[in-house]
Each structure stands twice: as structure tokens, then as C-alpha cells.
Amino acid sequence: MTKSLRIAVVLSGCGVYDGSEIHEAVLTLLALDRQGATVQCFAPNIPQHHVVDHLTGKEADEIRNVLVESARIARGHIKDLKSFKAEDFDGILFPGGFGAAKNLSSFAFDGADCAVEPGVVAAITAMRERGKPIGALCISPAIMAKVLGAVDVTIGSDVGTAAALAQMGAHHINAGHGEVIIDRKAKLATTPCYMLDATISQIADGADHVVRAVLEMANEMVG
């Protein structure tokens, strides 16, 4: 049954400090492929908040585009998020990285008072209205808290971030490596990934488990 599932993956650039966390994004795509899902990547066609030199950790005097940078991970097979149609997909996944908190939202700067990029809001809202599952890794559950409000989520165990999620109406549940918190009512699955001090193998576990949860819920819809 999973071979027929169509899953959207929303990226936020390329690189942990200013875009998608590459390990999380690639391992999510790998898990989806191994489970037989058909995948389409999306990203908003907007400027990055800023560009970070990943060797020095310092901000660089450059301007980059979120969609163009995300295309590096997707090997060019990616679409503008504006073209996303919820009726074409059975589930949607959001890898983490600072891009989720800087480009897809302003959570890195504004915390609970953050804004979420309109295309991201539209995609999440459309999937929620249709009862289709959503997966979020690492810091991306903060976006879910802002858009969906009273949902069960995890970002691991960071007290400050958990408090900000609570301010946005979400219920945070501590979770460890590879663990997934599933809100069955909202059809939302979240996992901490690099919100914890993790190895790449632990990231692979988290990505695999959240993908399995999303596909399981999607199968319930189509089955």
C-alpha cells in the first residue's frame, strides 16, 4: 500500500545554520524511498534570512534564495511551495535546521511571537483540514505549534524551547533519540533529531520512525 503514497517534503535551504539540516533532510528522503513512497520536494521561493559560512559559523555578505538552495538537496527535483496542492498528496514532512526557524518562520528571532511564511501556513492548514498526516523533525515542531496551536509535539527536552511552544498553545512532551510523539487527533508526528546531541545514526532512527508514523496514518486514510 505504501508504494502508492505521495508525500511532500518541505525544505528551507541547504545547511544547518541557515537552511535545512542536510542529514535530517536526506535521511527523511531515504526513509521515504525505502518505504516505497513517491516524494516531491517543495520550498518557498523567497530570500534566505541570511547566509552563514558553515566553516566559520559567521554571517556572510551574500544573498541566497531558499528554493534555489533547497534544490541542492533535491538534486533539482523541487517545486515552488506556492504550487503545492494538498489534494495531490497523502502526507507532508518538514525536516529541521535553522532554516525552519529563520526562513519558514521567524521562531529563531521572535520565539512564541513568531510569524510563519504564508505558503507554509497554507500547506499545513490545507493538510490539516483534509485530515492528512504531517511530520516534523527537530525545530520544525515549533512551526506546527504556531500554525496548529493545541497539539502534542516534541523538540526533545530543551526547557526554553518547550516553554515557547507552550506559549503558542502546544503541549510539549519530552522525547529521546529516535522517539516519536504522535498526536492522533491532529495526525501530527514529531521527533527531536538534532535538538538533542545526536549521532547521524540516531538521526536516521528519528527520520525513519517519523516517516513510518506518517505513512501509517496516511495508509489509514487511503486504506
Contacts 24+ apart (CB under 8 A), 149-155: 151/183, 151/186, 151/188, 152/181, 152/182, 152/183, 152/186, 152/188, 153/181, 153/183, 153/188, 153/190, 154/179, 154/181, 154/190, 154/191, 154/192, 155/190, 155/192, 155/195
> Closest Cα partner for 106 from 164, 155, 188?
164
**Per-residue 3-state assignment (H helix, E strand, C coil) for 99-159:** HHHHCCECHHHHHHHCCECHHHHHHHHHHHHCCCCEEEECCCHHHHHHHHCCCEECCCCCH
Cell numbers describing residue 146: 504556531
Report the C-alpha gap between 43 and 111 in whole angstroms. Answer: 22
Those residues whose C-beta lies under 8 Å from the C-beta of residue 30, and which sit 6 or more positions away, are 204, 207
Using CA of residue 182, residue 188, residue 194, residue 198, what is the dihedral sign? positive
| Residue 138: active-site member | yes
* Residue from 14, 114, 138, 193 carrying the catalytic annotation: 138
Cite the active site residues: 138
